[in-house]
A and B are shown apart, each in its own frame.
Chain A
Amino acid sequence: MTLATYILGILAALATLGVVIELLRRRRLRERHAIWWLGAGTLALVIGVFPQVLAWAASLIGITAPTNLVFFVSIAILVLVSIQHSSELTELEEKTRTLAERVAILELDTRRESPQDRD
């Protein structure tokens, strides 16, 4: 590994963490959604600063090429986050559905209560 790739790894991790923390600070991201990205960013930073951690972890579970462990963990995190998002989307749809239904009833009730608009 050259010095340039070493620095690139650290900078990428720092940039990710920086964006996540800034979004959290401006309340553009809720903690419950940020936790995955904070975890992933911290992990990337640790491995960026101490690449030997990656080599050690890979040999521990018997992976010959340590980069494969990076790919595996990255993809696993992305898949889990996507599933979480689908689930939250479903929850939001159910909430907007309930709101839409309530609005329909409210509108009908107010319409029937105001005499000038009575059908």
Chain B
Amino acid sequence: MTIPERTLIVIPAFNESASIASVVAEVRDAVPGATILVVDDGSADATTEVARRAGARVARLPYNLGVGGAMRVGFRYAVDHDFRQVVQVDADGQHDPRHVPALLDGLVGADIVIGARFAGAGSYRATGPRRWAMRLLSAVLSRAAGTRLDDTTSGFKACGPKAIALFADQMPAEYLGDTVEALVIALRHACRVVQLPVEMRQRMAGQPSHGPVKSAVYLGRALIALFFAYARPVVAVRSGGNSA
């Protein structure tokens, strides 16, 4: 396995005081030696305090930026402190940290390894417009990546040095920006993206977003996100700082 000392586990957390302590503990058990960074995305609850007590480093955003903003903090921190691998794990407990070593192993031949739900393991099923949206995103991005990517909106991802430098500079804060558009940016910067089948768990806290109207809106937003991700110019990475 790749040296865990240079591995940063980034956990973006927004009002997750109910589940963050057990997620941090699980990650430490699964990947001993890795550094755990919880990015508190402007929570109103005790997420920061609970995560600190659980032994994680905590970067606290002064207000809510969304997953893209929280993750750019993680990638920027990784660049500043010389981490070679970054793994994103959700704070709600749906990502099983026991898959992290396998994701890290995948980085030997790739810049980004996605923990994917639909690729065999687990029993997640989406229906209606949400399913069409996911199929379309999967088809377009698989083609661009030259390999099958079944779960393009998965937040469970491992990134190597090239992707870390890229995302520390360019990580969109918009809706679907941290998943779909981030993948498009990575692929357009010639990053190699592969997937690894993983089983997702039920969330420990919080509700999944479903319903026919919501999933139709999701389809529309996914199409817009995908269109603009490709319509935007490719920007060279500034190693000195974030673009703004």
A residues adjacent to B (C-beta < 8 A): 94-95, 97-98, 100-105, 107-109, 112, 119
B91 to chain A, nearest CB (A): 16
Answer whether A104 and B244 are a contact pair too, CB < 8 Å, given A97-B69, A97-B173, A112-B57: no
7 contacts across the A-B interface (CB closer than 8 A): A97-B69, A100-B69, A101-B65, A101-B76, A103-B61, A112-B57, A119-B52
Cβ 8 A contact of B65, one of A97, A102, A108: A97
Residues of B within 8 A of A104 (CB): 39, 59-62, 73
Flag if B59 contacts A105 (CB, 8 Å).
yes
CB within 8 Å for A105 and B80 given contacts A98-B242, A119-B57:
yes
- Interchain CA distance A95-B244 in the complex, whole Å: 5
Q: Which residue of A lies closest to B77 (CB)?
A: A105
The number of residues on chain B lying at the interface, defined by a beta carbon within 8 Å of a beta carbon of chain A, is 22
Given the known A-B contacts A97-B65, A97-B69, A100-B65, are A108 and B58 also in contact in the complex, defined by CB atoms under 8 Å?
A: yes
Instruction: Report chain B residues within 8 Å CB of A107.
Output: 59-60
The answer on a CB contact under 8 Å between B77 and A108 is yes
Partner of A108, one of B57, B72, B173, B244: B57
Chain B residues within an 8 Å CB radius of A109: 80
Bound-state Cα–Cα, A100 to B61, Å: 6
| Bound: A108/B39 CA distance, A | 10
9 further contact pairs, Cβ within 8 A, besides A94-B173, A105-B73, A107-B59: A97-B173, A97-B244, A102-B76, A102-B242, A104-B39, A104-B61, A108-B60, A108-B77, A109-B80
- B228 in the interface, Cβ–Cβ < 8 Å? no
Instruction: Decide: B57 and A103 in contact? CB cutoff 8 A.
Output: no
- Chain A neighbourhood of B77, CB < 8 A: 105, 108
Q: Which residues of chain B are near A108, meaning CB under 8 Å?
A: 57-60, 77
Residues in A neighbouring B76, C-beta threshold 8 A: 101-102, 105
What's the Cα separation between A116 and B58 when bound, in Å? Answer: 17
A59 CB to nearest B CB, Å:
42
* CA gap between A108 and B10 in the complex, in Å: 14
Chain A residues contacting B61 (CB-CB under 8 Å) are 100-101, 103-104
A98 touches B73 (CB 8 A): no
Instruction: Give min CB distance, A119 to chain B, whole Å.
Output: 5
> Whose C-beta in chain A lies nearest to the C-beta of B173?
A97
A108 to B40, CA, bound (A): 11
A20 to B122, CA, bound (A): 64
**Residues B57 and A101 in contact, CB atoms below 8 Å apart:** no
A98 to B241, CA, bound (A): 9
Q: How far is the CA of A101 from the CA of B73 in the complex (A)?
A: 5
Q: What B residues does A97 contact at CB under 8 A?
A: 65, 69, 173, 244
- Would you give the shortest CB distance from B184 to chain A, in whole angstroms? 18
